[in-house]
Chain A
Amino acid sequence: MRDTAAVEVAGLVKRYGNRTAVDGLDLTVERGTVTAVLGPNGAGKTTTIETCEGYRHADAGTVRVLGLDPVTDAAALRPRIGVMLQSGGVYPTVRAAEMLRHMAALHARPLDPAALIERLGLAGCGRTPYRRLSGGQQQRLALAMAVVGRPELVFLDEPTAGLDPQARRSAWDLVRELRADGVTVVLSTHFMDEAETLADDVAIIDEGRVIARGSPEELCRGGAENTLSFTGRPGLDLASLLKALPPDTAAAETAPGSYRLTGTVDPQLLATVTSWCAQNGVMPDGIAVERHTLEDVFLELTGKELRS
């Protein structure tokens, strides 16, 4: 069972009335990785995650989490996963530290709640009732509740929505620490930078389907072309440069002395270009690499802005 993927979703379909929220979705999450499920509102991110958490029955397809069926094997699965809902989940009158201590008490070998409170910057409001916490503090408490039971796998639904930049970085650090300690993380987000910096693997979801899949680098490389530009003396022999480069690379002198290469711009390409320049006695001034962000990729794939 150790060898199975952390999450295996195949052909998942989920309908609400006559609206199809998830429409034949496939998703595999390897153990020990951080996977970001990226998509606009209404794309089916939450429905997918909540099906993995055992909240919803699939209308079609199969879902396995840690090798178990989230609905029929719920009793065996729940102690092993950590869950952060998109919102709510806490008694309005309970104190922050009290709620976290309670979640810890439901587990066999929990983290020290006080240390976790400290770690997430909630030490100053441990005795504050939940409803008086700021949105960001509520989010951080929910995050703490997801990890306090020392789970193998955590599902974080929009973990940094509503956090200020500092709290956001602190939450990101926590996700990195989880990964370093061998916890598998599945998070949904509509922040591109979050997916780009945190995720080993990104699944872009739109209208209930995975429309692109890969590491952030692969996705940025795969979609739009990236460019490398520099200036040098006019009339360089681009044909000889291209011979040294991968076949999918194109080169042009866009203005006398201004050069632009398009294709797969990676460290190898950059090294090849600069060494070619060195061999030919060219100083590549203003050398600039323009790589596409996930945001560009997403726009190209869906024709939609993410934060709609």
Chain B
Amino acid sequence: MNTENTGPGTYAPAPGAAPLPRMIAAQAALETRLLLRHGEQLLLTVVIPTLLLVLFGAVDIVDLDGEGGGGGERVDFLAPGVLALAVLSTAFTGQAISTGFERRYGVLKRLAASPLPRWGLMTAKTCAVLVTEVLQVVLLTSVALALGWSPHGSPLAVALLLVAGTAAFSGLGLLMAGTLRAEATLAAANLVFVLLLVGGGVVVPLEKFPEPVRAVLELLPISALSEGLREVLRDGAGMPWANLAVLGVWAVAGLAAAARFFRWE
């Protein structure tokens, strides 16, 4: 870095891009900091999932007794759903809203003129989402364990589901952010969050819905993620291939559509 502050030669051209990994790390660190500093985002990504876990874990509001009865079993049902909700809140809702406003405020445009390539920016965004998710998983797992959660299954299957879910939700979130006005994205992303919270097997078991509705709901990415996590973490199942396949289809479709239709300005 130049140590001369003023005087002739201060601005003498010495152009050049920083090494790619350094650029991506800087971008990811910045976006993570901004995300963790953002009050409304934290409400969505931390406060709401934690509250749901504590509240529904302590009180049998949605009649989870059919799921097993006692407090520990309620948490065994809730914890995987809330983990799925955490992925939804960060990869979809949070990312859609922040990216929508970055587009609106010309941040994406300005960065496009910087040495950071577009794919580098998208990689950095993904890293910021993953870092946030790790923090969410640590927090929610600690709370759930404190509430008497006893998880089963393979950590690898859990990680694979979380990554597939992140890819699916990121594609859909970026598609929304890159095509709608920022205000429309804000409204729609929050609405989708609430709808999927209710209808995606997060806190309300899908068995509570009538059969034809349930068949449709099971194809949603949030249902595939929450049910997949539940099969592994509660029931100790192996790799839930059907759920992974649903997430895979959403991921491919969402990311392809985002790549095709995303407008940078």
Contact = CB atoms under 8 A, between A and B. Distances in A.
A81 B186 CA distance: 34
Contact of B113 (A53, A112, A115): A53
B110 A90 contact: yes
Given A91-B102, A94-B30, A119-B5, A106 B114 contact: yes
Nearest to A54: B113
Contact of B11 (A78, A98, A177): A177
Given A85-B109, A108-B17, A111-B2, A147 B23 contact: no
A204 B113 CA distance: 26
A118 interface: yes
A106 B16 CA distance: 9
B2 A112 contact: yes
Given A106-B17, A149-B115, A181 B2 contact: no
A180 B8 contact: yes
Contacts of A83: 110, 113-114
A107 B113 CA distance: 12
A93 interface: yes
A107 B9 contact: no
B69 interface: no
A177 B18 contact: no
B15 A151 contact: yes
Contacts, number: 131
Contacts of A78: 17, 113-115
B17 A183 contact: no
Contacts of B113: 53-55, 78, 81, 83
B107 A89 contact: yes
A105 B11 contact: no
Given A107-B16, A107-B18, A88 B110 contact: yes
A68 B101 CA distance: 32
Given A106-B115, A107-B115, A89 B109 contact: yes
B113 to A, nearest CB: 4
A103 B114 contact: yes
Given A55-B109, A108-B18, A75 B114 contact: no
Contact of A149 (B5, B15, B22): B15
- With a 10 A CB-CB cut-off, give which of A92, A94, A102, A178 has the most chain B CB atoms: A102
A257 B121 CA distance: 74
A189 to B, nearest CB: 20
Contacts of A55: 109, 112-113, 265
A260 B233 CA distance: 97
Size bracket of the B interface: 35 or more
A92 B105 contact: yes
Contact of A102 (B3, B12, B26): B26
B101 A106 contact: no
A104 B15 CA distance: 11
A89 B15 contact: no
A89 B3 CA distance: 27
A53 B115 CA distance: 12
A64 to B, nearest CB: 17
Given A79-B115, A106-B115, A112-B1, A181 B9 contact: yes
B110 A85 contact: yes
Tell me the interface secondary structure of chain B in the complex.
Answer: loop
B10 A181 contact: yes
A150 B34 contact: no
B106 A115 contact: no
Contact of B17 (A87, A107, A181): A107
Contacts of A108: 14-18
A137 to B, nearest CB: 16
Contact of B10 (A93, A111, A118): A111
Contacts of B10: 111, 177, 181
B13 interface: yes
A183 B15 CA distance: 11
Given A55-B112, A83-B113, A105-B26, A181 B8 contact: yes
A112 B7 CA distance: 13
A235 interface: no
Contacts of A75: 117
Contacts of A178: 11
A183 B30 contact: no
A105 B23 contact: yes
B181 to A, nearest CB: 15
B210 to A, nearest CB: 44
A109 B14 contact: yes
Interface string A155-178: 000000000000000000000011
Given A81-B113, A105-B22, A110-B1, A182 B106 contact: no
Interface of A: 53-55, 75, 78-81, 83, 85, 87-94, 98, 102-112, 115, 118-119, 145, 147, 149-152, 177-178, 180-183
Given A78-B115, A106-B23, A109-B1, 4 more contacts: A83-B113, A85-B106, A108-B18, A118-B5
